[in-house]
Amino acid sequence: MSWKELNIYALGALAQAGAEHGETMLSIGEKTEMNLENGQLTLVRTTVDHQLRLTALQEQRRGSILLNKINRPAIAPAVEEVLGIAAAAVPDPAHRIADFQPPQEFRKGDLKPDLDLMYQRFNTFIKEVTADFPRIILLNAYLAFTSHTSYFQNSNRVDFTVQQGVYTFTVTFSANDGANSSSFNYSGFSVLNLEQELINGGSLRTLLTQAAQGIPPRKAPDKFDGEVIIAPDCLEGFLHSLLGITITDSPLISGTSLFKGKLGQPVTSNLLTLASKPVAPEIANGYFITGDGYAAKNATIIEEGILKTYLLSQYGAEKTGLQRAANDGGAFVVAPGNQPLAELVKGVKRGLLLARFSGGAPSPNGDFSGVAKNSFYIEDGAIKYPLSETMITGNLIALFRELTAVSAERVDFGDAVLPWIAAQGVTIS
């Protein structure tokens, strides 16, 4: 019995056991990884992961479980368990499974890694960092190739197959000149192939250059309200936070969203155009199927400040009476601006270049606070020095309404394509 046949068998077992509607998704993942610690290649290994998710709907009740042991004898007790979970759940008429869609097969990337090229790129990266950035200490680095094959079926005759392979590289590093050392920083990116050297991927070269400048970090001169340039490395987190409190299921169902009823209206500065493109060519590490079982599509979320769509799942759409989104969000692509990064810096009277941010979840009204890490103090249009860990506070919704510039340069991380953005109205202390 093939993996797909096993998934179909599990779906049939749900129906035979009495489920009114069923959904099964079987995923086989294989990961080959190379690790570096303290400058030495320490690990090369391949791991295999299998998962089977069973979902059943019965009398408006939903049950779901995830199995790691996948074989035919394991199906019957799993079906019994998932129906028991559904029987104990609270009825909710918004529970549904995905409607019928024509069968589709999706494929992106290779299914097997080029091990020789992985080793060659990894080894060259170590040599280049040692030669070009002698102050940099590589704490660890991780190059992996992950392939996934997934089978998705439901009782509405949805039948999807996904085959996807991607390389992912992540690095953690610090800088040391003998007397001083920087706090650690990290970055990474995903690609479909290893055509270019690793040091040129994502924002790595930029971050290594910043860390290797050898200027000791200092405290901010005092507490002040200023401007912030948010680097691509932490812009994605700000976008997730903004959308998470405004246009996803929870805030729209509960009524806490400040963007409720704002479709077709301005919600940010007109400098911002934001799309979610999980199936776009420039997104190496995207997705083809939404969490609720629909074929994912690219969608514009905000166009020149105007809200174009909510990010509602099928459940959220049923609860609110609004339209289901074309995808699950993420895979962000922000349109470039018309100013180079250097001009953004020149335009800041007093503020900071924010390269990494550590903070909790924002409040429903958008208020946030956290620590700026690996960031730089800006005064009179010039970067003065790196900051030691510095508190910043502000409001996400106000920040995105008060954008002053978006850079022409962007960084392709493989799962997002992002520029630098400049905004007013943060407190730095």
Structural domain includes residue 218: no
Q: pLDDT-derived band of residue 339, with 50, 70 and 90 as boundaries?
A: very high
pTM: 0.94
Whether residues 207 and 229 share a domain: the answer is no
Per-residue model confidence (pLDDT) at position 63: 96
Mean of the per-residue pLDDT values for the chain?
93
Q: Indicate whether 220 pLDDT > 90.
A: no
* Residue 14 belongs to a domain: yes
Within this chain, do residues 171 and 258 fall inside the same structural domain, yes or no?
A: no
101 and 232, same domain (yes or no) = no
Domain that holds residue 278: 224-428
Reported as a single tens digit per residue, the pLDDT across 120-154 is 999 999 999 999 998 888 888 999 999 999 999 99
Longest CA–CA separation in the chain, Å: 72
Same domain for 294 and 319, yes or no, is: yes
Question: Are 168 and 175 a contacting pair, CB within 8 Å?
Answer: no
- Together in a domain, 206 and 229: no
Specify burial of residue 213 (Cβ count, 10 A radius: 0-12, 13-18, 19+).
middle
| pLDDT band, residue 250 (cuts 50/70/90) | very high
Number of domains in the chain: 2
pLDDT digits (tens, 9 = 90+) for 72-110: 999 999 999 999 999 999 999 999 999 999 999 999 999
> Is residue 95 included in any domain, yes or no?
yes
